[in-house]
Amino acid sequence: MTEPNGASITFEDVGKAYSKSGGTTVTALEGVSLAMEPGSITGIIGRSGAGKSTLLRMVNGIERPTTGAVLVGGQNVGAAKGAKLRAIRRDVGMIFQHFNLLASRTVAGNIALPLEIAGVPSSQIKPRVADLIERVGLTSHATRYPAELSGGQKQRVGIARALATGPKVLLSDEATSALDPETTQTVLSLLKDINRDLGLTILLITHEMAVVRDIASHVAVIDGGRIVEHGETYDIFTAPQHPTTRSFLSGVTGVTLPAFVKDRLMPNPPAQGGEEVIRVTFAGQHATDPMLARLTQDVGIPVNILAGAVEEIGTRPFGNLLVSLPVAKAAEARSFLESHRLMTEVLGYVG
Ligand SMILES: Nc1ncnc2c1ncn2[C@@H]1O[C@H](COP(=O)(O)OP(=O)(O)OP(=O)(O)O)[C@@H](O)[C@H]1O
């Protein structure tokens, strides 16, 4: 493993307003403060229009903040111009959802492009391109054209091209959104290898929490131009605080209600009786076993287990259980579980 080579990325109270025709403005970002350590992988997750692309494009100076500052390795990107801005941009590689390859150039030709633009002598370009092609596993495809490649292979070319100038930061703009799940996994694992081997700082935007879970050490949730939650991925998955974070997480845990419950699920409790259906999230492999048993034995509340699984973030396990309890006892049960540091979320009711 080589020494970490990544740069820190810092957002200091950043705001961005776009002017629109007719003199109105759109506020894309407001009061964004974030600090990313060298060598970290941060996922920025948010809905369409939340401000993700605006945030990402400030790191390579394509957009400038209206207020506040964005620093890469301590250098103020928004204030840089000319040669200084070009130098910062060489330190920041970027990959895209639709790859953005030149159709008229081969794999090797696409990867060579940033080196040609940077004025690297051609004698140095060839070996550098060969190294990059090998790193992304495309040696046998060097003379092919983009039209002859699969989506995953195109993204590998995009990654090699982004690495050509030896950046300290890699930006990923929905890089796996156009790929099938299996190809997504191979591209994420290549990015993880690059992060480990080269120590690059990676900042990726996505609308998929599964991507965050599989690659990011840290996550920031953006909603309406503001960061509503930020922290280590494990902490966010096991104890999300903000409703937006919770809604992103609800589809990703790999644990879904069985159809016989889902089809009957109601948003409000029935007039009498019925069961409340809740999700219980816990950190650590065995944390819920004694708590659910104690809920029944010590507190006298019967629990039906509907579905459950233990997953991993990095190497740390966390689990999700879907259970139902009598409505009359549900509030008491939830406060018991929460007092033992399990997280609960009400999903609905069955009659
Ligand atoms: N060049 C621009 N001019 C005017 N408004 C813009 C411009 N770029 C973005 N916006 C607006 O700023 C807000 C944030 O947009 P942004 O593209 O950053 O969001 P996003 O989270 O990346 O969305 P998506 O996932 O759909 O790409 C939106 O309201 C958008 O319409």
CA 53, CA 62: separation in Å to the nearest integer? 10
Shortest-distance Cα residue to atom 18 of ligand 1: 51
Shortest-distance Cα residue to atom 7 of ligand 1: 18
Scan for tokens 């550098």, then name that residue: 128
Give the chain's domains with CATH numbers: 9-240 (3.40.50.300), 253-350 (3.30.70.260)
Mean pLDDT of 153-168: 97
Q: Percentage of the chain surpassing pLDDT 90? A: 76
Assess whether pLDDT exceeds 90 at residue 319: no
Compute, in angstroms, the gap from residue 204 CA to the centroid of ligand 1: 16
Q: What is the DSSP letter of 266?
A: B
Residues present in the chain in total: 351
Assess whether pLDDT exceeds 60 at residue 2: no
In this prediction, residue 254 carries a pLDDT of 64
CA 181, CA 57: separation in Å to the nearest integer? 26
Shortest-distance Cα residue to atom 16 of ligand 1: 51
All residues at 6 or more sequence positions from 6 whose CB lies less than 8 Å from its CB, including other chains:
38, 39, 40, 168, 169, 198, 199, 200, 201
Closest to 140 in 3D by CA, of 101, 183, 175, 107 = 107
Burial class (CB in 10 A: 0-12, 13-18, 19+), 242: middle
Q: Which atom of ligand 1 is nearest to the CA of 46?
A: 21
Assess whether pLDDT exceeds 70 at residue 58: yes
In this prediction, residue 285 carries a pLDDT of 61
All residues at 6 or more sequence positions from 339 whose CB lies less than 8 Å from its CB, including other chains:
none
Compute, in angstroms, the gap from residue 151 CA to the centroid of ligand 1: 25
Cα-Cα end-to-end distance for the chain: 58
In this prediction, residue 1 carries a pLDDT of 40
Query: In degrees rounded to 5, what are phi and psi of residue 53?
Result: -65, -40
Closest to 288 in 3D by CA, of 327, 323, 316, 236 = 323
